[in-house]
Chain A
Amino acid sequence: STSGVLSTNKDKSAASKDSTPEGAPKRQEDGAETPKQQLLDIIGTMKVEVSYRKKLQQLKASEKKKKQAMNKLEGQESEGSVPQGVTEDTQRGKPLNPELVKAASAVASSLPRNKKQTESELLAQLRRHEETTDKQKKGETINICNVISEMAVKRQSRAQRGARISGRMSLQLDEDGQRIRPERSSAQSDSRSLKVGKRLNIFTKASTEPEHALKTVSSPTIWDLEFAKEVAAVTAQPPRNGFEEMIQWTKEGILWEFPIDNEVGMEDDAEFHEHIFLEKHLEGFPKEGPIRHFMELVICGLSKNPYLSVKQKVEHIEWFQKYFEEKKELLEEI
């Protein structure tokens, strides 16, 4: 939590640094309150709401920081520089940016814990950050030897290996048909879990979102679908009670969904006026005569038909139009 606060602090100080060239003329103009001062005031007035869990975390964090500070002190001693007291303000390699110091003090004042202690810890962290950036600038990279020396190859016992393979092969089934989980308690207690331990910071978090989007669109191969179907078929346990049976039936389509929707399956996008007022399709026909009379009857019948879609009705009318055009010579003889 305090490291998060620190990072935001750094961002704000960076922002303030950006605003200082603009703030300088402002300072000249205003004189009373710079935006930086305002920022610092805001940070000072911010009250961190602390719950019990946060308190614990803060305790742990402060302990860690103490340890790190102590280690740092010892390290500094071994290097030969003069160890300072708790208030390590200046004269450690490079002097800290006074703005950062001010920001750190403001943050420390906003936190509910021991203010001087937090301030000193924050400053120590800041200093450490500066040192690492200096190192990187000089060209000293992370020593891979140090990293790998910490890692060790774990030896598996034969029994564990056998248990793992047998666990994969046998999907033992009970009388119910439920799967027995192969006993993994021994294997788990022996092996170390993956998430414990210090982060090695070898890999950087690549942005995975655009890749994911592309992947889902371009490659649902047939094999993937088949595999998905197989998995679904196997993991589908027979229903334990009537409710699950009804759920299964609804998914398959055997059972309707309640409350019953009368228009399931019907996708008529057309409005009622398109069904009823079909006279606009009658423009190709002569305005008088038996054909017109006939077509008006046809339209009357179609408008009363609820089972056809608008498209089908229009197709009927167009067919009649074509038919009567073909028979024009015959009609003219009459």
Chain B
Amino acid sequence: MAAAALSWALRAARQVLPSPCPGQVRSYYVNWRMVRDVKRRKVAYEHADERLRINAIRKNSILPKELQEAADKEIAALPRDSCPVRIRNRCVLTSRPRGVKRRWRLSRIVFRHFADHAQMSGVQRAMW
């Protein structure tokens, strides 16, 4: 009985205090292109070491050429999504493929929106 009263009081108190970070709660990826990009990143991460080693054998002037050709075939046999070239740095919030600043991972429009609302730390309108 006392424990129930206490928990009720706790919940009441929590509702009164505002949460410090108001923002959207996103539970889905924005679109399918973003989903595919995420998949490519995961696969590229898994095969990154292998690709590095096989490429070290390929881009070589010391080892015999037959070995390098064999390595070529091996790397072609890896899944296509494992190469990092296929990854596109999309905007994290809108999945826009172009106009994305790398430091914030945001497209220019979203960046401007947040900066004007003073939600980007250390970002200020330039004036000189």
Residues of A within 8 A of B (CB): 168-171, 173, 177, 230-231, 233-234, 238, 290-291, 293-294, 297-298, 315-316, 319-320, 323, 327, 330-331, 333-334
Residues of A within 8 A of B12 (CB): 171
If A168-B5, A168-B6, A169-B9 touch, whether A177 touches B16 (CB-CB below 8 Å) is yes
B13 part of interface (Cβ distance < 8 Å): yes
Chain A contact surface mostly: helix
Given A168-B6, A169-B9, A316-B53, do A234 and B14 touch, yes or no (CB 8 Å)? yes
B94 to A: closest C-beta gap in Å: 26
Which of B28-36, B61-69, B85-93, B105-113 touches A?
B61-69
In chain A, what residue has the closest Cβ to B18?
Answer: A238
Is B2 close to A, CB under 8 A?
A: yes
Query: Does the CB pair A327–B64 fall under 8 Å?
Result: no
Are the CB atoms of A173 and B62 closer together than 8 Å?
no
Q: How large is the interface on B (under 10, 10 to 19, 20 to 34, 35 or more residues)?
A: 20 to 34
Q: What sequence of 0s and 1s flags, for each residue 57-78 of chain B, a beta carbon within 8 Å of any chain A beta carbon? A: 1001011101100100000000
B17 touches A177 (CB 8 A): yes
Asked if A334 contacts B14 (CB within 8 A), the reply is no
> Is residue B7 contacting chain A, with contact meaning CB distance below 8 A?
yes
Measured CB to CB, the nearest residue on chain A to B20 is: A238
Chain A residues within an 8 Å CB radius of B16:
173, 177
Chain B residues contacting A294 (CB-CB under 8 Å) are 57, 60, 62-63
- Distance in angstroms between the alpha carbons of A319 and B64 in the assembled complex: 19
**Contact (Cβ within 8 A) B62 A330:** no
Supposing A169-B9, A171-B9, A173-B13 touch, asked if A319 and B53 sit within 8 A by C-beta, the answer is yes
- The contact of A334 among B2, B17, B57, B64, by CB within 8 Å, is B64
B2 / chain A contacts, CB cutoff of 8 Å: 168
A297 x B14 contact (CB < 8 A): no
Cβ-closest chain B residue relative to A238: B17
Chain A residues lying within 8 Å of B10, measured Cβ to Cβ, are: 230-231, 233-234
